[in-house]
Structure 1
């Protein structure tokens, strides 16, 4: 089985990961133009290299509370279907290789496990793997 390559990032004290094939770039947070009547987790749009990209606060989308933006805050530009959008994260960690055998599937009635592919155990770290497609398709209040 081929190793998975993921971009690891933090939301609070927890580490998350996205498949590197979905990640276009990692940017510093810049001016975000608010969009009227958007869901609360949509912070607005940015103009990045001539393209207007929607920006989603991943903490808000996952109901993890509100974070203050710092020097470490980053926007991960991802490609979902034909759309490029940005995900605000507390900080990016690194790119890591994960053996698919090191991933445990999440099953719980207490939260929406549809967003998550599983939890990977890598060198003493627990990395929650996000399913981008499900995350973007599921509305959140």
Structure 2
């Protein structure tokens, strides 16, 4: 498990999740997402963030198999992964916190093949926050190679 010092906390469903602040490029209000036909269920489309086209993954679709309802609190967490920069559409981006090594617990279900991206739990007195590794999450998504190829071709054709 990679050490997480500072993490961006966000909400999806009724749970809190975290990604290392080192992975986060920006947190954006959701302006417009351009849908792309024939993409996997979790893929909402593409949007522009800081001048770049970013594929948008609906976090609720990945975790709970349902689409995120539109709301004022919804945010786009733009994260750099090994594969490509990607936007996680989340219910709400809450805060940035320090996570001490003492508060981190190993997650017994991390060995489960479909949730290898859950790398641990930050345990605090009144809350539990599931730590997510965005690289593992993105690489585990079905069809991500096609999306990566599409983004590369789109970027090449716009130059």
What is the TM-score normalised by the length of structure 1?
0.89
Deviation beyond 4 Å, 4+ runs, structure 1: none
Match of 1:21 in 2: 22
Distance 1:101 1:23 in 2: 23
Instruction: Output the aligned Cα RMSD.
Output: 2.1
Once the 2 structures are TM-superposed, how far is the Cα of residue 110 of structure 1 from its aligned partner?
A: 6.9
Q: Aligned equivalents of 2:55 and 2:89: distance in 1?
A: 11
Closer/same/farther in 2, CA of residues 96 and 123 from structure 1, 3 Å limit = farther
Relative to structure 1, is the Cα distance of residues 61 and 8 closer, same or farther in structure 2, using a 3 angstrom cutoff?
same
Distance apart, 1:36 and its partner CA: 2.1
Name 2:131's counterpart in structure 1.
Answer: 129
Structure 2 gaps, min length 5: 144-159
For 1:82 and 1:14, locate their aligned partners in 2 and report how far apart those are by CA, in whole Å. 26
Compared with structure 1, are the counterparts of its residues 22 and 76 closer, same or farther at alpha carbon in structure 2 (3 Å cutoff)?
A: same
Residue 119 of structure 1: which of 118, 121, 125 is its match? Answer: 121
Give TM-score scaled by structure 2 length. 0.80
Structure with more of its chain in strand, by fraction: 1
- CA 1:111–1:82 in 2, change beyond 3 Å: closer, same or farther? closer
Q: Which has the higher helix share?
A: 2
Q: Which has the higher contact order (CA 8 A, sep 6+)?
A: 1
- Alignment coverage as a number of residue pairs: 140
CA drift at 1:82: 5.9
